[in-house]
Amino acid sequence: MPDTGTAPNNGIGFIDGDYMPFSELRLPITDLGFQLSDMCYDALHVRDGKFFRFDDHMDRWDRSISERRFDTLGYDRDQTKNILNDCVRHSDLRDAMVYLIATRGTPTDPLKDLRTCKNRFIAWAVPYYNVVTEQEMKDGCDVIISDVVRIPTESVDPTVKNFGRLDFCAALFEAYEKDARYAVLVDQDGNITEGRGWNIFALFGGRLLSPESGVLEGITRRTVLELCDRLNIEGELAPIPAADLKNADEIFLSSTAGGLMPVRKIDGKTVGSSVPGPVTQRLTDLYWEIHDDPAYSTPVDYTASSND
Distant-in-sequence, close-in-space partners of 192: CB < 8 Å, separation ≥ 6:
145, 184, 185, 186, 200, 202, 211, 240, 241, 242, 245
Quick one: 2 or 290, whose CB is closer to ligand PLP?
290
Closest of 128, 122, 127 to residue 19, by C-alpha: 122
Q: Measured in Å, how far apart are the chain's first and last C-alpha atoms?
A: 5
Is the Cβ of residue 35 or residue 130 nearer to ligand PLP in the bound state? Answer: 130
Q: Is 136 in the site for ligand PLP (CB under 6 A)?
A: no
Amino acid identity, residue 299? P
Residues numbered 220 to 249 that lie near ligand PLP (CB under 6 A) are: 220-221
Is residue 194 close enough to count as binding ligand PLP by CB under 6 A?
yes
Q: How far is the CB of 136 from ligand PLP (least distance, A)?
A: 16
Residues 6+ apart with CB under 8 A from 298: 50, 51, 54, 55
Of the two residues 14 and 52, which places its CB atom closer to ligand PLP in the complex?
52
For 141, residues 6+ apart whose C-beta sits below 8 A from its C-beta are 132, 181, 182, 253, 261, 262, 263, 264
Q: Which residue, 117 or 219, has its beta carbon nearer to ligand PLP?
A: 219
Rounded least distance, CB 134 to ligand PLP, Å: 19
Q: Examine residue 214 and tell whether it contacts ligand PLP (CB under 6 A).
A: no
Rounded CA-CA distance 307/161 in Å is 31
Residues 211 and 200: beta-carbon distance below 8 Å: yes
How, if at all, do strands 259-266 and 250-255 pair? antiparallel
Among the listed ranges 15-23, 206-214, 252-260, 261-269, the one in contact with ligand PLP (CB under 6 A) is 252-260
- Asked whether position 197 contacts ligand PLP by CB under 6 A, the answer is yes
Candidate segments 29-37, 91-99, 196-204, 277-285, binder of ligand PLP by CB under 6 A:
196-204
* Least distance between ligand PLP and beta carbon 110 (Å): 34
101 strand-pairing partners: 41, 122
Residue 252 sits in the site that holds ligand PLP (CB under 6 A): no
Q: How far is the CB of 261 from ligand PLP (least distance, A)?
A: 11
Instruction: For residue 198, state whether it binds ligand PLP (rule: CB under 6 A).
Output: yes
> Which residues sit at the interface with ligand PLP, rule CB under 6 A?
43, 194, 197-199, 215-216, 218-221, 254-256
